[in-house]
Amino acid sequence: MSVRFALGAIAIAGLLLRPPASGQGLTPEWEVRKSLTVLLNQVKSLLPLLANIKPGEWREQSAAQAYQQQLGNLRDELGYLERNLAALMEKPDSMKMTLEVFLRLQHTDTMMVSVIEGEKRYGNAFTAEQLQEILSRHASTRTELRNYLVELVSAKEEELRIADAEAQRCQSILVRQPGARRQ
């Protein structure tokens, strides 16, 4: 089974999984922090394996140059992802930070697929398989993050709807008061 096929299947499975019904409310912060800790540890476990990838030693030097740059970009992105995860753990109800972590995670996964394919084709197949295994292992955590993002957006949307309804109610009371100024 190819790496792209496996990740495609995981992505489709994640899209088919529905977040909890909106009546259940938002996932508790302690549970979100627990999932984020797992994800952070998984991201950190990638770094030592990435250090084993040495495109400069590959037999195909033209491929090595392109993958060397990708590998550097991937390491940078994983560093950004680590910092974003740490910030999200401090404030798990931040919609902006949750979205940023989710998008960074998707981006690093895409970059990782490319690096894995390069390592498998030109470098060490065993290292590529180890990276693939870690990537596959955190599929459920990615799905949890996606579901939490949907929950968070729904909760914030409901808060805005309630605030708007209350503002409309207050405005109608003020307009009905005697002596209210007509515009």
- 39 inside domain: yes
Please count the CA atoms within 13 angstroms of the CA of 177 that sit on its side-chain side: 8
Answer whether residue 35 is part of any domain. yes
Is residue 182, in this structure, part of any structural domain at all?
no
Burial of 178 (0-12, 13-18, 19+ CB in 10 A): exposed
Q: H helices of the chain, where?
A: 3-16, 29-51, 61-90, 95-122, 125-137, 139-176
Residue 96 falls inside a structural domain: yes
What is the CATH classification number for the domain harbouring 92? Answer: 1.20.120
Domain annotation covers residue 90: yes
Residue 11 is part of which domain span? 3-15+24-176
- The count of structural domains within the chain is 1
183 occurs within a structural domain: no
pLDDT at 183: 54
Task: Give this prediction's pTM.
Answer: 0.72
pLDDT in tens, 36-72: 999 999 889 888 989 988 888 877 777 788 888 899 9
